[in-house]
Amino acid sequence: MRLHNLKPRPGAKHRTKRLGQGESSGRGKTAGRGGKGQSARSGSSIRIGFEGGPMPLIRRLPKRGFNNKQFTTSYHGVNVADLNKFDDGARVDETAMSAVGLSNGPSDGIKILGTGDLTKKLTVIASAFSASAKAKIEAKGGTCEVVSRKPAAKA
């Protein structure tokens, strides 16, 4: 088997339909575009929701409801197993985690999650802890400190 012997599997390739190849081809004359009009012209495309004359349905319907997304608190999740990167007895806070690459990008704080096992005694400072993460950290003799960080004003 060499590169020049490679072929696609049988049935994987379809012959392209050649449009406008005479009336007897079955796809000649208007080539599947129907009669005259906007959609029969070359380069024509009508955006989704366009209805021609009337006001589009999406603009006719009343806008209702409430979305609270801009006021939610978004945390970066860091697993307990990832904290093994730090030395035994270290003080682990948000700046230490971002220096190691555990939490990058905008967020309202860090939440420590309980996936994995912790092998070291650490003092962990974060915005939130899951119950299993707190139990695993304290089982190794470490401590969990909750720091409330005021979320940045969202525009």
Q: What is the CATH number of the domain that holds 83?
A: 3.100.10.10
Q: Is the dihedral of CA 21, 25, 28, 33 positive or negative?
A: negative
**DSSP one-letter code for 30:** T
The Cα 57–Cα 61 span in angstroms is 6
Residue 13 located in a structural domain: no
Q: Which domain holds residue 116?
A: 74-146
Residue 108 located in a structural domain: yes
Residue 102 located in a structural domain: yes
pLDDT tens-digit map of 44-102? 888 888 998 899 999 999 988 888 888 889 999 999 999 999 999 999 999 999 999 99
User: Total structural domains in the chain?
Assistant: 1
Residue 109 located in a structural domain: yes
Residue 99 located in a structural domain: yes
CA-based angle 84:100:152, to the nearest 5? 115
The pLDDT value recorded for residue 53 is: 87
The Cα 130–Cα 141 span in angstroms is 17
Residue with the bigger pLDDT between 150 and 85: it is: 85
Residue 155 located in a structural domain: no
**Is 149's pLDDT higher than 80?**
no
Residue 7 located in a structural domain: no
